[in-house]
């Protein structure tokens, strides 16, 4: 999953100009735009030669991101103050495990746990990817159960209707 | 995998365009209404109206959530002992899930700086607990039978 960043299908994860809000930059997670957007400038230097941008003088915020096309900042642990906010989808996965009756929720818990592990060592790109997979498992599990419920309801209605005649 | 992402992504992007309180409010209302409905219907009656656990229907085994709805009903009737007999993990998890929802809602509303995060050890511990419970509750010998959902 996270290893596929150099696959060439879509741009590598990183901060890119926000297509919806020029003047902002937005986190691209490698597959889709995230909700994390912040103003450009604000003291952060986005000079092309920002190879050594993670210096003690770097202002807070996940700065130091490369301009489009340069190497992703994948494994460089960022200062905690600028750590991106990632919801690992742990409790949501637990909820799905207990109330959606499908083993998919357990898979979600594993990915949520992996996400928290990655976060604890500062690998935020991996953490984001794992959290996305946990979310995927949880939402699919909820969606499938809702779908089954609707089908069940239809059968029930048809059954009651045909029993009435 | 990527096809699944394509189904989920548009949905979550739509959710992103809604005000931030909508998601926690929806989850909260659904949980409250669900609890109210479960609490008013005796499982003997409800069992004929609602589908059973799909995993149990297919395999005949208890999933980690089997007995959870009956446990919730027992709790609304003020019988925690019966609730624990149906599904002990759900009974323990419910207050924690309510807490997690509250933390999440606070984060979504901007009252809290970051989402709910526990240490990796706790997260893996939860996973191990659920898997162990999943296996043990299906063993046919006492005292493990006590962990089962008690469904016929």
Reported as a single tens digit per residue, the pLDDT across B102-112 is 999 998 888 88
Number of C-beta neighbours around residue B57 at 10 A: 11
Residue A81: both structure tokens together: 């103050």
* Mutate which: A62, A88, A98, vs B, most B CBs within 10 A: A98
Count of helix runs (H) and strand runs (E) in chain B:
8, 0
What pLDDT, on a 0 to 100 scale, did the predictor assign at position B5?
A: 61
Point out the residue among B11, B54, B107 whose CB comes nearest to the CB of A101.
Answer: B54
Q: Which residue in the block uniquely carries the two structure tokens 């986005």?
A: A46
Closest CA–CA distance from residue B142 to any residue of chain A (Å): 23
What pLDDT, on a 0 to 100 scale, did the predictor assign at position A121?
A: 87
- What are the chain B neighbours of A149 within 8 Å (beta carbons)? 51
Report ipTM (2 d.p.): 0.80
What pLDDT, on a 0 to 100 scale, did the predictor assign at position A71?
A: 46
Please state the rounded mean pLDDT for residues A149-153: 86
- What are the chain A neighbours of B53 within 8 Å (beta carbons)? 101
The helix/strand/coil state of A2 is helix
What pLDDT, on a 0 to 100 scale, did the predictor assign at position A33?
A: 75
Residue A159 in this model has a pLDDT that exceeds 50? yes
Handedness of CA B139, B144, B145, B151 (dihedral sign): negative
Point out the residue among A116, A149, A156 whose CB comes nearest to the CB of B120.
Answer: A116
| Sites in chain B below the pLDDT cut of 50 | 152
Cα–Cα dist A101/B66, whole Å: 7
Residue A143 in this model has a pLDDT that exceeds 80? yes
- What are the chain A neighbours of B3 within 8 Å (beta carbons)? none
Q: Which of A57, A119, A65 is nearest to A87 (CA)?
A: A119
């Amino acid at each position: 999953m996270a290893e596929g960043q150099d696959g060439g299908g879509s741009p590598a994860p990183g901060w890119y100009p926000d297509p919806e809000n020029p003047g902002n930059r937005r986190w691209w997670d490698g597959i889709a735009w995230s909700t994390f957007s912040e103003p450009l400038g604000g003291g952060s230097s986005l000079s092309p030669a920002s190879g050594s941008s993670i210096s003690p003088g770097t202002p807070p915020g996940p700065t130091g991101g490369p301009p489009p096309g340069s190497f992703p900042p994948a494994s460089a642990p960022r200062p905690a103050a600028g750590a991106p906010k990632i919801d690992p989808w742990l409790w949501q996965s637990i909820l799905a495990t207990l109330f959606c009756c499908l083993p998919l929720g357990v898979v979600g818990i594993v990915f949520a746990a992996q996400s928290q592990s990655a976060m604890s060592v500062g690998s935020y790109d991996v953490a984001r990817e794992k959290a996305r997979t946990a979310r995927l498992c949880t939402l699919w599990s909820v969606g499938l159960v809702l779908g089954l419920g609707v089908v069940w309801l239809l059968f029930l209605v048809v059954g009651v209707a045909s029993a009435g005649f | 995998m990527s096809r699944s992402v394509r189904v989920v992504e548009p949905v979550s992007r739509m959710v992103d365009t809604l005000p931030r309180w909508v998601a926690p409010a929806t989850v909260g209302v659904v949980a409250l209404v669900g609890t109210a409905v479960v609490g008013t219907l005796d499982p003997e009656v409800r069992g004929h109206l609602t589908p059973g656990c799909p995993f149990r229907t297919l395999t005949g085994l208890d999933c980690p959530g089997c007995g959870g709805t009956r446990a919730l009903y027992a709790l609304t009737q003020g019988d925690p002992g019966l609730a624990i007999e149906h599904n002990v993990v759900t009974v323990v998890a419910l207050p924690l899930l309510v807490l997690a929802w509250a933390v999440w809602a606070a984060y979504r509303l901007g009252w809290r700086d970051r989402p709910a995060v526990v240490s990796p050890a706790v997260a893996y511990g939860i996973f191990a607990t659920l898997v162990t419970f999943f296996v043990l509750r299906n063993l046919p010998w006492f005292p493990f039978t006590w962990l089962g959902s008690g469904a016929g």
